[in-house]
Amino acid sequence: MIPMTDKEIIKKASQWLSPVFNAQTREEVTRMIVNDQEELFECFYRELEFGTGGMRGKMGVGTNRINIYTIGIATQGLSNYLMKQYADSPSKIAIAFDSRNNSSLYATKAAEILSANGHMVYIFEELRPTPILSFAVRELGCQAGIVITASHNPKEYNGYKVYWADGGQLVPPHDKGIIEEVRNISGPESVNMSANHSMIKTIGNDIDIKYLGLIKSRLINPNLTNERADLKIVFTSLHGTGITLVPPMLKIAGYKKVHIVREQSVPDGDFPTVKSPNPEEKAALAIGLEQANEQNADILLGTDPDADRVGMAIRNSQGELELLNGNQAAALLIYYLLSRKKEDGIDMSRSFIAKTIVTSEILTDLADHFNVNIYHTLTGFKFISELIKNKEGEEKFIGGGEESYGYLVDDFVRDKDAVISSVMLCEMACWAKSKGKSVWELLEEIYSITGLYKEDLVSLVKEGSAGFKEIQDIMNQWRHNSPKEIAGEKVTRLIDYKMGIQKFKPAGNISAIDFPKSNVLQFITSEGSKITVRPSGTEPKIKFYISVKSNYLKAESLSIQYNKLDEKINRIKEDLGV
């Protein structure tokens, strides 16, 4: 990307002073031109990229911001692509939105533009979790879907996520095709804004009822009535959409002691009680942890704003609430699913689980233990969804997960789903209780099979044009000056996913899979440590995923063993300079 001069930026911004743009937009552009050219640069130095799954960015005025005009251009591009793909009949598109500021506005604008172009639009009448949009796309026979959300990003952000007819997020070739159409839109003046309201229909609670009914039908242990009634759950939606469906589903499943964190139960795009509505961050769940301690809860559950991810805290061996990372929760969920199928004598030879390349290898070890196939995909749940579609009729998807608190059970939704995951994690806890065990003891049982794993994630925020370049420079440095040793451990394997298709079958029942090019580097050491470096696809961050492993010692406290692995992680961080 060639840097733009101040003069070029002002010329580009001045185009937003035309009558195509509303008065509020023109006033803001004028203010920046006169008084704040630094902000003007950040708002206009590039076009907000419509990436392989959609776009995400800060809200505001300009080509590098989320606003009704960038939303409009993206929607017109999507419309044009759909008209080429389905030339014989109008397409149907489902739209959902989360609790963020302007999400409803952006969803309405997208619906109006699609209707103006002759498409039938189904839009949820109220905010709803992302996974039910994935379900609605297939249930309503749509050719595409849109969710207005920025997931767990801070309040300044919003986004536009596109789904295809299979209910999964965009993957090749449709992602590239839509990107090309979006790039061909010259500007807002090329967007058809003449809404045809007869082509817009609202989605009521009939979809909710079908979706929740399917989740109920997937409960594995219907006989755990007493355990469900006794399990004490505290739930927080972090001001997001989880409040609409998670508590109702828990009630349907028979959980009677569900306590809501009221301070965070009202959907609010300002997220007033948290700095960042991300359940991966302990600070976001601080109020929930406090309430869970006061009420002596067994489990704390916390969903992100669009309720596709869920975090969990459980009681440790000292009876204290402890937040699990996404790999631990995924291990518990997958162990439960596989154990119950084994108990019921279900043949799993034509079934599989799935994980992303940055997720812990503990799932690989569990797959090997239960003799079930496991497939690895690139980072992003859309690749797991694509895998499910490609395996239809050949192998049955049991469940899958990624380290960032995203999990899926069964395949009637084609994206990570905090609603079914919340219910299944609670069922896992009830199953453990029925066997006279705590969830913590169940985790120890898993480690006795797989060995002990511990993970950490370092995210370096690099905002703006300078940050964009710095992230590129960091990746180039790691790519061209790869370490031969990390924290005293010899690097025995380097995988550069940007070098083209990778075909490999490392161990156990891992099934070989073709990986498309991706800007990801992965280092495997002689001691079983795994370090992955990649730029975020949705945030101005570069991420370092660290996973370490040791033998599990039954005679030694799990907390002490965790501390030893934390020391190893800290040595790796120090050596990496992060």
What backbone phi and psi angles, to 5 degrees, belong to 29?
A: -65, -45
Task: Answer yes or no: are the C-beta atoms of 455 and 282 closer than 8 Å.
Answer: no
Strand, helix or coil at 398?
A: strand
Q: Is residue 187 packed enough to be buried (19+ CB in 10 Å), middle (13-18) or exposed (0-12)?
A: middle
Task: Answer yes or no: are the C-beta atoms of 143 and 85 closer than 8 Å.
Answer: yes
49 φψ region: left (φ > 0), alpha (ψ -120 to 50), beta (else): beta
Task: Answer yes or no: are the C-beta atoms of 306 and 246 closer than 8 Å.
Answer: no
* Encoded tokens for 373: 């196939």
* Encoded tokens for 557: 């406290």
527: number of Cβ within 10 Å: 15
Q: Where are the beta strands (DSSP E) in 279-394?
A: 299-303, 310-315, 321-323, 351-356, 373-377
* Cα distances (Å, whole numbers) of residue 124 to 69, 103, 128, 162, 238: 22, 12, 7, 15, 21
User: Sheet holding 373-377: strands in order across?
Assistant: 406-409, 396-402, 351-356, 373-377, 510-511
| DSSP letter, residue 495 | E
Per the residue annotation, which of 151, 237, 422, 529 is the catalytic one?
A: 151
| DSSP letter, residue 278 | -
Q: Is residue 19 packed enough to be buried (19+ CB in 10 Å), middle (13-18) or exposed (0-12)?
A: exposed
* Encoded tokens for 379: 């980072």
Q: Is residue 461 packed enough to be buried (19+ CB in 10 Å), middle (13-18) or exposed (0-12)?
A: exposed
* Encoded tokens for 51: 């990436």
What backbone phi and psi angles, to 5 degrees, belong to 546?
A: -120, 125
Question: Annotated catalytic, 198?
Answer: no
Q: What's the CA gap between 266 and 281, in Å, rounded?
A: 20
Q: What's the CA gap between 59 and 157, in Å, rounded?
A: 6
Q: Any idea which residues carry the catalytic annotation? A: 151
